[in-house]
Each structure stands twice: as structure tokens, then as C-alpha cells.
Amino acid sequence: MIDPATRLSLAVTSLLPGHGGIARVARLMARVLADEADAGRVRLRAIGLYDEQAIGDLGVALVAARGSRLRFTVAVQAAALRSSHCLADSLAMVRAHNRVPLLRRPLLAWVHGIEVWEGARADRLDAARQTDLLVANSAYTRARAERLHGGFARAQVCWLGTETDAAPAPCPADGPPRVLMLGRLEPGRDKGHRALIEAWPAVVSAVPDARLHIVGGGPDLARIRDAAARSPAAAQIELAGFIPDAAMPAVWSDAAVFAMPSRGEGFGLVYAEAMRQGIPVIASVHDAAPEINVEGETGYNVDLEQPGALTERLVHLLRDRDLAARLGAAGRRRWAEHFCYAAFRARFLGLLDAFVSSH
């Protein structure tokens, strides 16, 4: 049990919803810690680098740095002086912490694949060495970082989760069978957009009324839109761009299958969200997806080096609605057991309790 006198400072990139995977981790931590603060079990002060003001839905007292790194660093160090322990949503935030021995505080920081895999910056690796407790979002993230750089075997694994324990009511999709792809479009980060677009003519040949619905914004949107427009199946590929969270329930309700055959997911929170929706998942074997999406139970993880493997799995699920429903139901059960908010909260509080007790 955490000592009620524990004073925590939380340094995050942003607590705004819709700002990417690291912001989702920040929100998950903040939600758990706000609950603990409301119950009088900890005291909490948060600092957001890119936030303009307090985020109302979390109930967290926040110093908003409004994009100023100087203001952020000063606020982080000032908060640390009044805290017993510090937490950061990523290694990038660790740089703001004071490293003077008499002034520094025990530090917990999350490890994300994008920061510690191939091409990792030296300052991120140095930040990892300065952190007392590293928390990896998956065993895959930890193992890959350890293989590349060493020093990450000590990281504790804490799977992520959704921000809710509520699951939407099952809603069979009307109309043509839709495959939903949801992910930010960043140059150099292969989430599987091109693989899906390349597979789509063969999918449509087997399932003539199938539709591919690509949702997500980002700097690579124009290039992906061009690739879709040049496809022989362009008429059955829709690129919606960014859709706000409030409008996503309708998008999910239209999906028969969720597909994101990525090569670079350190966890893949969107897989957990698809499971919450009761939708079968198609991912890949090339990243952390098999740790989340159980092959043959909640969906499939394809080898993108095997020609036709992605097409075969897409067609298989689109043709067999009963199978898709069974996999989706199993996914929802797995989400409820491992990836709902309560499951994340229990995992994270266990790590936090051990961290506070030992430092």
C-alpha cells in the first residue's frame, strides 16, 4: 500500500486525447494517479509540455508549459523539489529532471519502442540509464531494446489498456463488409497502409462488395491517398483522414474486421480498442502484436514476407461472418481480462507501490 505522504510529480508530453500513443500512456497514468489522489493515498502535481491548460476530464492539477521547453524544465524541477518521487511518460521527458545528486528524486519512466529501437538517440539511451525504474509497454519492446543497446533487461513490463471498463453493445455492421484501418500516417513508420492497399484488388476479386476504410491523419496522408487512388480497386478504398474521438463509435460500428499489419508497434493500443469493440484483429508477426492479438483466437498475425498471406486472412474473415463474430467475442473477453482500465490500473499500481517502497 502506498504511503499517503507520497508526493508525486508527473512529467508528460500532453494529456490531451487524440495526441498519439505516448499521450494515451500519459492519460492512463494520470487517470490512475488522480483516482489515488482523490482517495487521499497520494499527492500529485502534473506538468504538460504541450498542454495549453488543465485537462478537465482527468481532474488533474496541471502546470501547462504551452510548448515552452524552458518553462517545462523549470516547472518539472520545481515540482520535483516538492515531491518524493517523479514519473515520466517517456524517456524524452526525463531530460527535464534535475541530475544533481542532492536535488534529484527517484524516477520512473516509460520505455516506448519508437525511442529505443533502431536509430535511438543517444540522449534517450542516456535518459534510460539515469532512470531508477524503466517500465516497458510490452515484453517485445523490452527485448528489442535490450538486443540493440543492452541495459533494458531490468525494465518491468506493464501492458497498456483502454481508458474505460465499459464495452459498447454488439452492433452487427450493415451494408458491405468493411475492413477498418486506424493509425497515424507518419513517413518512415510502416503501420501497414501500403500492404493493405496492395492487397485490396485481390480481396475485392474474392469479395466483390468489400470496402477498405482508412482512418487517420498525419504528414504521410497525401502519399497514402495517392497510392490508394492508383489502385485498380480505388473505388472501394476510402481515406477519411483524421476523425475526432467523439465520431469514432460510428466508424467502429461499421467495421467487420480491424486490420493494422504494422511492422513497428511496441504495443498497439488500437488492437485493444478493436477487441473492446468485439471486432476481430489482423496484425503482423513483425512487432508486439502477437503479444496482444492471440493467433487464431482473437484474430490473425500475418507474415508480410509471405506473398498472399494478408489477402488470404482478409478474405477468410470477410467471407465467414460467424468466424469473425467468434473471434471478436473472444477478443472482447481478452480485453475485459487484460486490457480494460481496471486491469491496467491494477498492474500499474503494483509497479508504483514497489517503486515507492524501494526508493
Does some domain include residue 2? no
CB count within 10 Å of CB 3 equals 12
Does some domain include residue 173? no
Does some domain include residue 169? no
| Residue 144: per-residue pLDDT | 97
| 80 and 21 within one domain | yes
C-alpha cell at 61: 492539477
Does some domain include residue 50? yes
Proportion of the chain in helix, strand, coil states, percent, rounded to 5: 45, 15, 40
Q: Are strands 62-64 and 281-284 parallel, antiparallel or unpaired?
A: unpaired
| Residue 34: per-residue pLDDT | 92
Using CA atoms, how far apart are residues 280 and 282, in angstroms rounded to an integer? 7
| 191 and 146 within one domain | no
| Residue 61: per-residue pLDDT | 85
Does some domain include residue 239? yes
Q: What CATH number is attached to the domain comprising 247?
A: 3.40.50.2000
Give every residue of the chain whose pLDDT is below 70, as ranges: 1-4, 171-173
C-alpha cell at 340: 480494460
Q: What is the largest CA-CA distance in the chain?
A: 68
DSSP string, 179-208: EEEE----TT---SHHHHHHHHHHHHHHST
| 209 and 197 within one domain | yes
Does some domain include residue 172? no
Boundaries of domain holding 201: 178-339
Does some domain include residue 170? no
pTM (predicted TM-score) = 0.94
| 207 and 132 within one domain | no
| 211 and 144 within one domain | no
Does some domain include residue 168? no
| 140 and 184 within one domain | no
| 150 and 63 within one domain | yes
| 348 and 323 within one domain | no
| 100 and 81 within one domain | yes
| Residue 98: per-residue pLDDT | 79
Q: Give residue for cell 541530475.
A: 99
Residues belonging to the chain: 359
DSSP string, 291-335: HHS-BTTTEEEE-TTSTTHHHHHHHHHHH-HHHHHHHHHHHHHHI
Q: Exposed e or buried b for every residue in 86-117, given b needs 16+ CB within 10 A?
A: bbbbbbbbbbbbbeeeeeebbbbbbbbbbbbb
Q: Which residue type occupies 186?
A: E
Number of domains in the chain: 2
β-sheet with 299-302: strand ranges across:
237-241, 211-215, 178-182, 257-259, 281-284, 299-302
| 61 and 128 within one domain | yes
| 323 and 213 within one domain | yes
| 293 and 157 within one domain | no
C-alpha to C-alpha distances, 317 to 17, 299, 330, nearest whole angstrom: 31, 9, 15
